[in-house]
Amino acid sequence: MKIEGQGALVTGASRGLGRALAELLGAKGARVAMIARDAGPLSDAVATIRARGGVAHGIVADIAAKDAVHKIAGQAQGLIGEIGIAIHNASTLGPVPLRLLLDTECEDLAAVLETNLVGPFRLTKILAGAMALRGEGVIVHISSDAAVEPYPTWGAYGISKAAQDHLSRVLAAELSGTGVRVLAVDPGEMDTKMHADAVPDADRKTLQRPADVAARIVAMIADEARAVSGVRLVAPSFEVAP
């Protein structure tokens, strides 16, 4: 897929990986709709892209809110036109410090699933049909190694990411032949607020920079041959030309 000229929607785009993805997509000539709940950091991220000559708009919304998804999709289409790239990046760990699954309140598990699984699914239900009619589109779910490794205390988050991986596979199967690709991408460990919240004593020098991971994910979006629909990709293993 050619990135230039695409409409790209990125959730969780005010900091961390989402911001890096939005900045790179904007630099490559995509028109970017950026979603987050807190207006201040979002408007700062939008301004950075515009200052570099890119087209970017912020939409303040909570992806977990049932009544927000139509607003997100409608505003995004009004601002940037047809959406060719949708990146479900916004995510929550649930309560931190992380706790054992059996110590997790059912309401907290449900809230994690609303943000990490159900909200993205609601948004995809709105966007995927138009992509299929146009015969082109990429839907990316940002996953985690916690989707496949049963790390103690990462239960609510890991369950949501495992379910999101399978959501990706089923959507890919159902959209096969339409031109719409659905990818699940484990970004690997990155130096972000989420990582600091989960592992406050981590050695930050060992963590990837979000911008380096974003470069690999944008390369996946562009590379239909290597990033095939339905596949779960691991960003650090996806080689990109320097």
Ligand X SMILES: NC(=O)c1ccc[n+]([C@@H]2O[C@H](COP(=O)([O-])OP(=O)(O)OC[C@H]3O[C@@H](n4cnc5c(N)ncnc54)[C@H](OP(=O)(O)O)[C@@H]3O)[C@@H](O)[C@H]2O)c1
Q: Which residues bind ligand X (CB under 6 A)?
A: 11-18, 35-38, 62-64, 89-92, 115, 142, 144, 187, 189-190, 192-195, 210
Shortest reach from residue 76's CB to ligand X, in Å:
13
- Residue among 22 and 128 whose Cβ is closer to ligand X: 22
Read off the DSSP letter of residue 118: I
**For the chain, first and last CA: distance in Å?**
19
Rounded Cα distance, 157 and 196, in Å: 15
CB 44 within 8 A of CB 19: no
CB of 197 to ligand X, least distance (A): 7
H helix runs in 32-90, sequence order = 39-51, 69-80
Is residue 151 among the annotated active site residues? no
Cα 10 to its chain centre, rounded Å, is 6
| Catalytic member of 157, 160, 168, 229 | 157
160 a catalytic residue: no
Which lies closer to ligand X via its Cβ, residue 45 or residue 175?
A: 45
Catalytic status, residue 91: no
Catalytic-role residue among 91, 143, 168, 229? 143
**Strands of 55-60's sheet, edge to edge?**
55-60, 31-36, 7-11, 85-88, 137-142, 180-186, 232-234
Distance in angstroms (rounded) separating the CA atoms of residues 200 and 238 = 28
Q: Pick the closer one to ligand X by CB: 133 or 202.
A: 202
Task: For ligand X, give the closer residue by CB, 38 or 223.
Answer: 38
Q: Would the CA dihedral through 37, 39, 40, 43 be positive or negative?
A: positive
Tell me the two tokens of residue 44: 């700062």
Cβ distance to ligand X smaller for residue 131 or 190 = 190
Smallest separation, CB 96 to ligand X (Å): 11
Q: Is 149 exposed, middle or buried (0-12, 13-18, 19+ CB in 10 A)?
A: exposed
Smallest gap from Cβ 179 to ligand X, in A, equals: 25
In the complex, what is the shortest distance from the CB of residue 228 to ligand X, in angstroms, rounded to a whole number?
21
Closest-approach residue to ligand X (CB): 16
| Residues assigned a catalytic role | 143, 157, 161
